[in-house]
A and B are shown apart, each in its own frame.
Chain A
């Protein structure tokens, strides 16, 4: 197991390296002259050149990348002129809120998805199966921002059951849950839909395996058989769950904006509106970093519970 951990972790390093290159390059494709915003109309070419030199823009791309990476590794992601704050400060303030929302959505979406996907899988072709397939197809097709708006209109505006937004997490569990409910529902429907589809397909697959016939012949009850099915069907579900958490982190830009949830998503949205690209860059880097680590954790968890994965067979 130790060698598995070391190997998988080592594989994540070049990926992280690549991620940093992509994030750096994103900021280099900006249309327009980056110096323009510092210049007045009657600035001379010499002044422009001086500004370019001062910002370090006259040096070759690889050197600028190396400087940027060294700074980023030391926690220096730049200074937001619009917000008058260090980008890292803005991000550390927001990341906690985003994690709470993303993890709550992930847990809800994955648990609900596994539950309905499992039932649909063992009752293939039944009414339940069809209902689940309609739910998961709708979940895949409804944009989270539309769902968020509908939920707000119905449960906050109309019925007044839930607050219209904000993250109040430190005034008791009840208040926190009331603020979490709508954003979690809006964000996690897609998670639930995809998880349900994957679970169902996996369960159907395992059910057709020979060993199920053997178990039945041995006289096991259907509850006991289902336990075996579950254990064998869970691997693909785990694989997608890492991707799902990443999607929730990325999708936070939309959901957080609508529910005024003060996390990284809302930070990114405000930064886009004010063309504050250093913040977009920093947030993208941090979220991608989290995503790589989450996928690594999922990989290792899979290797821990499934000996086939550990051996590199499945």
Chain B
């Protein structure tokens, strides 16, 4: 999925310059038509229609929505305290003693912990993806448009971060910064910036070689204007598709850090940490001990399926 996008080779060469007036006029018309189509909303309507026609995608999106709503309205969904439990009720099975998902090793209600913990996991999934998408796009588009020494210098710097296995880089950054949700988010963001920058750069180079960019340049549009009105709208699809696939990966990476003790310190109900702290209960209440893992899996599958459906809905235009 993501790997395929990374392999798009650079399309070298630029549009030929033609100085004849007729050609210039044709190019100008091409540019105007392009601005028109960029502003039109029909592409997004079409994408939305295609996405809604995909049952798997809609189902996955519904699960994502459900998780988000549950996290936001956690206090309305459960009356149990996620942080304080009754030690006498420790390790109850599912549906026992008024606990839908049982209790953990300190007698805390698992359902409450999962629902409140969803806030942390969703933040760890969305925030790094969003921030990395913004920074990565800025770097990639700049590198792609400026080109030359500065452009390739920027991309070589990104390559250096690529020389680390992603999870190891996240762990190393997390270990240096110390435990905590903010540090986890920073670590995952750093890991995601280079791949987004690569996608943005290769898309930008593809767009820059098109005729309508040449046309915009001939009509005297500034670099910044070309970047904003011509390049960005045309590379955004690639970036949105790619980044949407990162949310699930971000959640798993953050859960890994939390599992290793680098997430929010206890008693915060982070799913990865819960899974680790319940390892001892695996032989007493296996189902309850696995619940945090099941939710990480469920959320990540939902994000990946929704992302696949989004890509298909946007791709079929091409």
**A residues lining the B interface (CB < 8 Å):** 14-16, 18-19, 21-23, 26-27, 29-31, 137-138, 140-143, 145-146, 149-150, 152-153, 157, 194, 197-198, 201, 236, 239-240, 243, 246-247, 249-251, 253-254, 257, 268-269, 271-273, 277, 280-281, 284, 287-288, 291-292, 295, 314
Q: How far is the CB of A237 from chain B (nearest CB, A)?
A: 10
Set of chain B residues within 8 Å of A149, measured between Cβ atoms: 275, 279, 282, 289-290, 293
The 8 A CB mask of B287-311 against A (1 = contact, 0 = none) is 0011001001100110111001000
> Does the CB pair A15–B168 fall under 8 Å?
no
B9 CB contacts on chain A under 8 angstroms: 314
In angstroms, Cα B276 to Cα A224, docked, is: 50
Interface of B is mostly: helix
Listed residue (A19, A138, A143, A291) with the most chain B CB atoms within 10 angstroms of its CB: A143
| Residues of the B chain whose Cβ atoms lie less than 8 Å from the Cβ of A194 | 3
Complex partner residue of A141 from B171, B172, B286, B304, CB under 8 angstroms: B304
Residue in B4, B167, B304 whose CB lies within 8 Å of A140? B304
Q: Which residues of B contact A31 (CB under 8 A)?
A: 177-178
A-B contact pairs, 10 of them (CB 8 A): A16-B163, A21-B160, A137-B304, A143-B272, A146-B297, A149-B282, A153-B286, A250-B167, A268-B171, A291-B163
Measured CA separation A30–B178 after assembly (Å): 8
**Do the beta carbons of A22 and B7 come within 8 Å of each other?**
no
B293, A249: Cβ atoms closer than 8 Å:
no
Pick from A143, A157, A273: contact of B283, CB below 8 A: A157
Q: Is the interface of A mostly helix, strand, loop or mixed?
A: helix
Count residues of B near A (Cβ-Cβ below 8 Å): 50
CA distance A271 to B255 in the complex (A): 19
Q: Does B25 contact A (CB under 8 A)?
A: no
B315 CB within 8 Å of chain A = no
Contact A272 B157, beta carbon cutoff 8 Å: no
A140 — which chain B residues lie within 8 A by C-beta?
1, 248, 300, 304
- Report how far A284 CA is from B172 CA in the complex, Å: 7
